[in-house]
Each structure stands twice: as C-alpha cells, then as structure tokens.
Amino acid sequence: MSSNQSGVTEATDGQKPSGHVISASSVSKAYTLYHRSSERLLHLLMPWRSYPKFHALKDVTFHVRRGETVGIIGENGAGKSTLLQIVTGTVMPSAGDVAVSGRVAALLELGAGFEPDFTGRENVYLNGTILGLSRVQIEERMDDIIAFSELAEFVDRPVKTYSSGMFMRLAFSVAAHVDADVLIIDEALSVGDARFTQKCMRFLKDFKRNGSILFVSHDLGSVAGLCDRAIWLEHGSLKAEGEAGRICERYVESLFRDESSDTPGQDKTPNPALTASSSSDQTAFQLNGQWAEIGGGSAPPLAPPGVTTCSPFNSVANSFGSGGAVVVDAGVWDAETGQRLLKMSDGQIVDLRIFVRADEAVDRPIFGFYIKDRLGQNLLGENSATDSSSGASLAPGEHVSAGFRFAWPALATGSYALTVAIADGVMDDHIQRHWLHDAVIFDVISSSARHGLVGLNVSQISIDRGSL
C-alpha cells in the first residue's frame, strides 16, 4: 500500500498482515461468456476451447481489522456484490484467496437464504442453521428473534406473502442473534420503515464495539456516517481505500468529473435550466425560466416551503431509564394556535413539547430531545438544563410539560425520528429517568433544502465585482 498527499491509500500490491478478521489477497473473479447455452456443455467436453470472459474483480487486496466497520462503494457493475459473495463463500474466486476469522452473518440480496414456501418461523430455523447455530440454540433465541423483527403476527405465514420490508426485518433479526464476529450487509437497510431502520442502526453501533462490519451501499451518507474506512471499487479493481468520509468525497468528485468531461469533436450541450446573458456591470442568469441578477441585483427566488408530516406519539417505543418519571406524550404544536400538528412547513414557528408524569420525586428535572436522521445520527437537539426554570422539583403524581419553541428546520427529504427524555440532576452529573427512542417519526415529503441535510434560510445572495 502507498499513501498519496491527500491521505488516501491507493490500491497497490501489499503484504498480507496477520490478526485481521477478513484478509483478501489478490482476489480475482472472471465469468465465461457464452453466446448460447449449448456452449456450456461444449466447454465441459472441450475445455481447451477459448471463450470471452468478463472480469468482475481484478487483483483486489484488502483487510478488515477486528472492531472495524468498512464500507465498499462504487458504481453498478464495479464488483461490490461479487466481492461480498466471495467473502461469504457463496462464490469461489478465480484467483487469490480470502481468509475469514470467526462466524460470519451475511445480509446479501433480498430473500437470500430463505425458502418462499416456508413460514417465517421455519426460515428462522433454516437461516440460523446456515449461519452455524444448532437447533437448541435457535429455539432458545426464537422469542428474541421474533420480538426484534416485530413480526409475531406474520411469523407463521409463508414468507412468499411478505413484503420486502418484512423480508429485511426477519433476515436482520436472525443475523442480529447469531453471535457473529463479522456482519456483512449488502444494501439491506435500503428497505423497511424508518422506525425499524433506527432500531437496526442502534444495533449496528452497539455491534461495532466488539464485531466487524463489511457494508455495501450506494447511500454515501450511510457509508460516511457508519464506517471507519471505505474501499472504492472501479471496474472490478481497487481504486482507493482510506478514511470513509474522504473516500466518499473523492468518489463523488469522480462522478461529477466524468459527467463534465469533454468528448473530442463533440459540442458541449448547455444546461437547459441555466442560460446567461451579460452586460457591463452584472450578469443575469435564467434559472428554469426565472431571471435573477447577480452582482448588484437580488438573489434567486427561494424554494417554496417544504412539508413535513408527523406521526402520532408512540408510547411503546424502545426505551430505557431508572424509572420514577415517564414520558407520556411528545410531539409538535403550532406556536400561535396551540393546535397539535400532523404537518409542518419549513420555517413555521412550532413548540416541541414533552409531557411527563412523575411517579416519585424528581429533584432537578432535565427535559431534552434529539432529532435523528435515518442513520441514527443526532442532527438537532436541545435540553432544559440551560433554562434556570428547569430546576423546580417534581412531586410524586405531578404532571408537567416542557416546551421548546423554534422555527421548524428545512430538512432534506426522508425520514427522521424524535428521541425524548427526562433526566434528574445537572448536565455533568445526572441519571436518565426515562429515555424514549423514536417516539415520533417525521417524514419530509418536500423540502426547501437544496443542499445538505439541513437547509439554510438564506434571504440574499450577492456577488460584488472588484471588491476584496
């Protein structure tokens, strides 16, 4: 391996280190291409005959350390899924070797390892056996597997009647209970509802403490947020590897560079949404037919407010705490009318409220919340510890609510979860009385955020010529 100035390790020949849970050395995979099915038989009878080959992987070497999460990125056809199949042993390499230490649990293509005519319960036995569990071990863990999947109502029905999200729930639940050393995931989290995805992300973050994860996804945000390192495959070869965020940046850069590269002898086609005309002191751009002057003029018109829907409060969501106080309700209310909201607009002034019942005395209550993205990353949050009024104690049987007023943020389209909590103490020394994961789910169905995860309420954009 050799390092360039950007801090990214480029793919080169290297020695195979010891003490890794996954070690892949010079792995290649080639598939013979037949024009007709009869040529397969001819090739068996006459193996000296040559046929064209497709090289899915070419001399790939990488290693995964214990406790490390490694992402694999690349365009369709880059060889990502082929590499995972070789690591799990379902496909043999044409050259090179792969060594895996410990038990591997794999979530590959949807439904892999499941028999459609078997029930969910029967498939738990089948999949668990494939992953190395005995029947006794599976029976001991069956209740936990079903509870994690939240499929108790459907577990004795044939899985061919399951939706793609239900498939993922069952497969992930089995993988989560086999005491694996290595977890391999190929786009498995791209299906399923927001609440279960949040549960999976919490499991993965906990699993990372002792286990290793090999994660394939086209969602670069997932790779950058979950993974320690990333491997970039391009046309079957290892293009680069290094810190996950940096590799994702370089990959995106390559995609834009490819799109903007000129082809000799071919005229560049102007962007139909962007044309320009110039005068002596300013330039005017036409954005989708709307003219806006830049350099002494006004900013391009802002996008219309986005819309976010709000689910009902989930009182039985996953939670923990020492007890003594319980969050009984939470959600978003209109700051002007006081009405509970099931739909909000970007920039709307709202009150996020947390309602608590004290079952015993709470000396120094702290109310708080987080808004998390689909990866479980905390995007926004606040607590009442900065408010001098939060120090009033709660008496047994008392009901109290805490409100946080703010302009609803412009979140990128997608699903988000609200975590709420009541603690007792001060910021540097407190106990959690009740912490409730995913108490409310927000679905952003349209957004004024044009870039990033959270949009800015930009009122003006100006470019001044000749100024420094």
pLDDT of residue 457: 61
Cα separation, 347 vs 331, in Å, equals: 17
Using CA atoms, how far residue 378 sits from 176, 329, 352, in Å, is: 23, 21, 16
**Mean pLDDT, residues 293-318:** 68
Q: What angle do CA 440, 408, 309 make, to 5 degrees?
A: 45
- What pLDDT does 199 receive? 83
Per-chain mean pLDDT for the chain? 79
**Which residue ranges form the domains of the chain, and what is each CATH number?**
2-257 (3.40.50.300), 307-446 (2.70.50.60)
Range of weakest confidence among 269-283, 315-329, 401-415: 269-283
pLDDT of 465 higher than 70 = no
pLDDT score of 459: 57
Q: Per residue in 211-258, pLDDT tens? A: 899 988 887 877 887 888 999 999 999 999 999 888 988 888 787 666
State whether residue 139 is helix, strand or coil: helix
Q: Which residues sit opposite 284 in a β-bridge?
A: 277, 293
* Structure confidence at residue 462 (pLDDT): 47
Residues 6+ apart with CB under 8 A from 302: 448, 458, 459
* Least confident window among 108-122, 125-139, 398-412: 108-122
Residue 1 confidence (pLDDT): 40
Q: Are 290 and 301 in contact (CB under 8 A)?
A: yes
- Tell me which of 390 and 400 has the higher pLDDT: 400
Place of tokens 């700051």: 335
The whole-number average pLDDT for the span 23-46 is 85
Q: Which residue has the tokens 């049987």?
A: 397
Instruction: Indicate the SS3 state at residue 195.
Output: helix
Q: Which residues pair with 98 in a beta bridge?
A: 24
The residue behind tokens 């994690």 is 148
Distances 68 to 84, 180, 223, 288, 427 between C-alpha atoms, Å:
16, 14, 13, 46, 31
Q: Which residues contact 381 (CB under 8 A, 6 or more apart)?
A: 368, 369, 370, 371
Q: Is the pLDDT of residue 346 over 60?
A: yes
Distance CA(33)–CA(61), nearest Å, equals: 25
For 193-214, write each residue's pLDDT tens digit. Answer: 777 888 888 888 888 888 899 9
Could you give the 3-state DSSP secondary structure of residue 277?
strand
Q: How far is CA 119 from CA 108, 175, 468, in A?
A: 20, 17, 70
pLDDT of 309 = 92
Q: Count Cβ atoms within 10 A of the Cβ of residue 106 and give its class: 0-12 exposed, 13-18 middle, 19 or more buried.
A: buried
Tell me the C-alpha distance between 349 and 231, whole Å.
43
pLDDT surpassing 80 at residue 76? yes
Tell me the residue type at 227: C
User: Mean pLDDT across the stretch 172-190?
Assistant: 83
Pick from 330, 305, 345: nearest CA to 439: 330
The pLDDT assigned to 422 comes to 92
- pTM score: 0.64
